[in-house]
């Protein structure tokens, strides 16, 4: 029987409840989900790659079919490394859709054996983004309803 593996890449700086929702929904549909914590030299991250990976791992420790790995470079290469059949992406806005559609097309051209599956954000999680979470947390405002407890604690510690 064929096992379906997908990757869900992102910077996860920080991991949000929106990310967790997509990961949990994907884990219910696919045999294996590999969460790829990405290193992007063009992005100035609040948390180091090691910190981001550890936070993601701690939040997903109880989900049996979800694994965490870090990567740099092309997502399609990361997907190949894990023998994934698809890349999972999340959509919140029309701008997200346009960007993700372009990325999906390029990834398909790089490897036609890897599809992109887009999950629409749930309405109650629609406005959550890592950038907004960081902006709010930097102003010492409560972000606890938008992120897991361990991420909230890490944000408070990092920004104190």
Task: Tell me which of 2, 43, 140, 145 is the catalytic residue.
Answer: 43
What pLDDT digit, counting tens, does each position of 17-29 carry? 999 999 999 999 9
Which tokens in the block code for residue 27? 């884990």
Considering just the CA atoms, what is the radius of gyration of the chain in Å?
A: 15
Domain boundaries, the chain: 5-159
- Mean pLDDT in residue range 142-160: 96
Q: What pLDDT, on a 0 to 100 scale, did the predictor assign at position 88?
A: 98
Comparing CA positions, the residue from 93, 96, 94 lying closest to residue 116 is 96
What pLDDT digit, counting tens, does each position of 105-123 carry? 999 999 999 999 999 998 8
Q: What pLDDT, on a 0 to 100 scale, did the predictor assign at position 96?
A: 85
Q: What is the CATH number of domain 5-159?
A: 3.40.50.620
**Is 19 considered catalytic here?**
yes
Burial class of residue 156 in the structure, from the number of CB atoms within 10 Å of its CB (0-12 exposed, 13-18 middle, 19+ buried):
middle
Task: Tell me which of 11, 27, 90, 130 is the catalytic residue.
Answer: 130
- Mean pLDDT in residue range 145-149: 96
Task: Tell me which of 80, 82, 92, 122 is the catalytic residue.
Answer: 92
Comparing CA positions, the residue from 96, 66, 71 lying closest to residue 81 is 71
| Mean per-residue pLDDT of the chain | 95
**Is 82 considered catalytic here?**
no
């Amino acid at each position: 029987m064929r096992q379906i593996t997908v990757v869900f890449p992102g910077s996860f700086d920080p991991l949000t409840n929106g990310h967790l929702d997509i990961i949990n929904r994907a884990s219910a549909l696919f045999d294996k989900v590999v969460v790829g914590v990405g290193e992007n030299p063009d992005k100035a991250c609040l948390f180091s790659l090691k910190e981001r990976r550890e936070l993601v791992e701690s939040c997903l420790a109880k989900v049996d079919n979800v694994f965490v790995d870090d990567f740099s470079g092309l997502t399609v290469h990361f997907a190949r490394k894990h023998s994934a059949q698809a890349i999972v992406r999340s959509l919140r806005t029309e701008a997200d859709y346009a960007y993700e559609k372009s990325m999906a097309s390029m990834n398909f051209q790089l490897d036609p054996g890897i599809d992109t599956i887009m999950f629409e954000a749930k309405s109650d999680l629609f406005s959550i983004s890592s950038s907004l979470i960081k902006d709010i947390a930097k102003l010492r405002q409560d972000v606890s309803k938008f992120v897991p407890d361990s991420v909230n604690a890490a944000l408070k510690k990092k920004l104190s």
